């Protein structure tokens, strides 16, 4: 397979993951074009679909390949063991990606050392978690501040519960909480060595439900037993809710199969180097995208 791969535009934490993925491709005998274009490559490999900073360069590659109907493999930081496990998907991220995980078992979930806590929405808060609106996952969506206001108005049709707005830790928004009753906005506390937020789990302890379009907070919520309201693009769609009219009686389904399938969206660096994800991705590419 002819593969165009672009580590040079990735963030600093992407380098060892690109190196591991490149090694797996070389060991599999693939023909690589590293940091250079090729008119006849079958697939491109980029880091995330967040079009900002140095990663803006990836949008050109993404647009070029997708406009031709060619697949793009997207590497990015995972949500199960952040900065330790990494997602590898085809043509997108989160629920919009194809992770070649149509077949799965119960062997990988224990590797992430998470316990599915019992559903227990005993808190009062409804938490709206924003995400980065320069990402491809937000394409076609309104400005984040407008989307948040829309969610609040819809929630208020059914409940007067307090609402907490948590923007993405790296996405500043202009939002006037004073226009709404019993609504507070709070930026997540951040670990500036990793740029992750550090206080979401504590917030979940007093949360009734979480609203999130398609990013990692929904996964953390489901694992911790808090119901979620998500879009069709969320990896939590199978165990979440999509209609805010159900905010007072959210679905809380069995999560075992969901967790097992989710565990095949993320891989540790040594697994990536060994070629475990590539063997799945390659077969999926050949079966569906490169015919």
Question: Comparing C-alpha atoms, which of 185, 77, 63, 62 is closest to residue 129?
Answer: 185
Question: Comparing C-alpha atoms, which of 83, 119, 82, 96 is closest to residue 207?
Answer: 119
As given in the structure block, the two tokens for residue 47 are: 């880091």
As given in the structure block, the two tokens for residue 117 are: 């806590």
pLDDT of 171: 66
pLDDT of 191: 52
| Burial class of residue 172 (count of CB atoms within 10 Å of its CB; 0-12, 13-18, 19+) | exposed
Beta-bridged to residue 183, according to DSSP, are 163
pLDDT of 195: 45
The CA distances from residue 33 to 16, 56, 235, in Å, are 18, 20, 31
Q: Please, what is the Cα angle at 208 between 248 and 226, to 5 degrees?
A: 110
**Annotated domain spans of the chain:** 2-105+262-289, 125-254
The answer to whether 202 and 186 are in contact (CB under 8 A) is no
pLDDT of 243: 98
CATH architecture of 2-105+262-289: 3-Layer(aba) Sandwich (3.40)
Q: Please, what is the Cα angle at 153 between 152 and 157, to 5 degrees?
A: 110
CATH architecture of 125-254: 3-Layer(aba) Sandwich (3.40)
As given in the structure block, the two tokens for residue 208 are: 């009734």
The model carries a pTM of 0.92
Q: Which residue has the tokens 């519960």?
A: 161
Round to whole Å and give the CA distance between 154 and 282: 43
pLDDT per residue, tens digit, the chain (291 aa), is 999 999 999 999 999 999 999 999 999 999 999 999 998 999 999 999 988 888 999 999 999 999 999 999 999 999 999 999 999 999 999 999 999 999 999 999 999 999 999 998 889 999 999 988 778 878 888 898 899 999 999 999 999 999 999 988 776 777 778 889 999 988 877 554 544 545 788 899 999 999 999 999 999 999 999 999 999 999 999 999 999 999 999 999 999 999 999 999 999 999 999 999 999 999 999 999 998
């Amino acid at each position: 397979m002819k593969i165009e791969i672009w580590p040079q535009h990735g963030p600093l934490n992407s380098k060892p993951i690109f190196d591991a993925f490149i090694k797996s491709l070389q060991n599999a005998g693939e023909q690589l074009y590293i940091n250079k274009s090729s008119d006849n490559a079958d697939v491109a490999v980029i880091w995330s679909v967040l079009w900002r900073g140095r990663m803006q360069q990836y949008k050109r590659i993404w647009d070029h390949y997708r406009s031709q109907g060619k697949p793009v493999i997207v590497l990015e930081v995972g949500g199960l063991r952040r900065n330790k496990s990494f997602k590898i998907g085809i043509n997108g991220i989160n629920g919009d990606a194809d992770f070649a995980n149509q077949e799965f078992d119960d062997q990988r979930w224990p590797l992430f050392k998470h316990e599915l806590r019992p559903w227990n929405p005993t808190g009062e808060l409804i938490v709206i978690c924003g995400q980065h609106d320069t990402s491809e996952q937000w394409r076609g969506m309104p400005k984040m501040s407008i989307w948040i206001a829309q969610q609040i108005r819809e929630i208020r049709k059914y409940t007067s519960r307090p609402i907490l707005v948590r923007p993405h830790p790296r996405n500043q928004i202009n939002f006037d909480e004073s226009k709404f009753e019993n609504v507070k906005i709070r930026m997540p506390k951040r670990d500036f060595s990793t740029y992750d937020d550090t206080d979401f789990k504590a917030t979940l302890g007093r949360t009734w439900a979480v609203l999130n379009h398609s990013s990692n907070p929904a996964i953390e919520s489901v694992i911790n037993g808090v119901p979620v309201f998500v879009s069709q693009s969320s990896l939590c769609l199978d165990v979440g809710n999509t209609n805010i009219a159900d905010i007072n009686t959210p679905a809380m389904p069995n999560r075992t199969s969901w967790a097992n399938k989710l565990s095949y969206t993320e891989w540790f660096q040594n697994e990536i180097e060994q070629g475990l994800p590539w063997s799945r991705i390659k077969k999926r590419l050949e079966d569906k995208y490169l015919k």
